[in-house]
Amino acid sequence: MTAIGALRVAPKLILAVAFAIALIAGTARAQDSFPNRPIKLLVGFAAGGGTDVAARIMAQQMSKILGQTILVENRTGASGLIAAQDVAKADPDGYTLLMGSQTTCAVAPALYHKVTVDPVKDFSGVALTGASPLALVVNPASAAHSVADVIAMAKTNTGKINFGTGGVGTTPHMTAELFQYDAGIRMIHVAYRGEAGAINDLLAGQIPLMFANLSAVMGNIKAGTLRGIAVTGAARSPSVPDIPTVAETLPGFESETWFGIVAPAGTPHDIRAKLNAAARAALDREDTRQRYVELGMTARASSPEELDAYIKSEIVKWSKVIKEANVQTLD
């Protein structure tokens, strides 16, 4: 290249470099000032269910810490996958998040044939926030007072006893499938559009029993409007220590719901780190922990990387349950 040619090219090169530097600097400033507007935290289930309760607790506390409002938005359908798809397609800027659970991140993608969400590829972890055992609950008018009673009733009335859940693929559904497999019984699944609807019908006596997130039925158990038969954790819950575990009748049985915040894949690490710090600070607050205990939940924090690894392990675990319990997949 001649000296004159070099001189002609140089201004273009200088402009390109200057533009790149400005773009990088602008991105850095945007990340440094994050968040400078409200954040949306999507929930794939109806208000009142366990995932929704967990999201609202975290949103309230993290809003105070970040100095920006976190708005909880319920977008129901397909076991949480409608909300998951919306988040996966959102701009990876930290302003659209999902309160995920093993239902949405580990179970539902394996159940729906037409699902377009791959939790490992489409999401980046922000923070694990907590876990909740489930409770086997019945209407107080039920003759069942123990896990053995439920099993005996189901064996006497094979395929005639209904159980409700917040939808196909939800943790209560998968827990019930695992329970039937381990107990050698068969009941009829009635799927609702959200856990709250199933609980309402159980209260009204429209269905006889269900596995529900303990956080969603704690108030009913304490008020006596529902009877707690058993909890699904490996040990009894400190929130309801008088209620036995399913494992005391079916050794080795264990299931729980976990909740964790995820962002669209590609969300900058600095932004996820800032959100993670806010989540950890929220979980360290005594009032947050007390609220969790009141609802039968346990605060459980993690790094973004730890949540990513946990989601991968949960996909393996629940895929095995789906196969062994012969759970039917859906279109």
Of 215, 237, 228, 186, nearest in space to 54 by CA:
215
Question: What pLDDT shows up at residue 116?
Answer: 83
Encode 51-82 in three state secondary structure. HHHHHHHHHHHHHHHHCCCEEEEECCCHHHHH
- Interval 302-324 mean pLDDT: 92
**Average pLDDT score over residue span 114-130:** 93
Residue 34 pLDDT > 90: yes
| Mean pLDDT of the chain, nearest integer | 89
Q: How confident is the model at residue 25 (pLDDT cuts 50, 70, 90)?
A: very low
Q: What is the CATH number of domain 36-132+257-324?
A: 3.40.190.150
pLDDT, tens digit (0-9, with 9 covering 90-100), for 249-261? 999 999 988 999 9
Task: Kindly report the backbone phi and psi dihedral angles of residue 242, in degrees, each rounded to the nearest multiple of 5, phi listed first.
Answer: -80, -10
Same topology between domain 36-132+257-324 and domain 133-248: yes
Report the run of H or E that residue 219 belongs to, with start and end.
Answer: helix 214-223
305 vs 2: which has the higher pLDDT: 305
Q: For residue 19, what pLDDT is reported?
A: 53
Extents of the domains making up the chain: 36-132+257-324, 133-248
Q: What is the pLDDT of residue 303?
A: 97
Nearest to 227 by CA among 252, 244, 250: 244
Contact 235, 247 (CB under 8 A): no
pLDDT of residue 1: 55
For residue 170, the model assigns a pLDDT of 84
Q: Are 92 and 126 in contact (CB under 8 A)?
A: no
Residue 127: the pLDDT is: 98
Tell which residue, 150, 314, 299, has the closest CA to residue 215.
Answer: 299
What's the CA gap between 315 and 236, in Å, rounded?
26
| pTM across the whole model | 0.78
CATH 3.40.1160.10 fits 133-248, yes or no: no
Of 16-20, 86-90, 93-97, 240-244, least confident by mean pLDDT is: 16-20
Give the pLDDT confidence of 287-303 residue by residue, as tens digits.
999 888 888 888 899 99
- Using the structure block, give the residue that is written with the tokens 């945007």: 30
Encode 165-202: b = buried (16+ Cβ within 10 Å), e = exposed. Answer: bbbbbbbbbbbbbbbbebbebebebeebebbbbbbebb
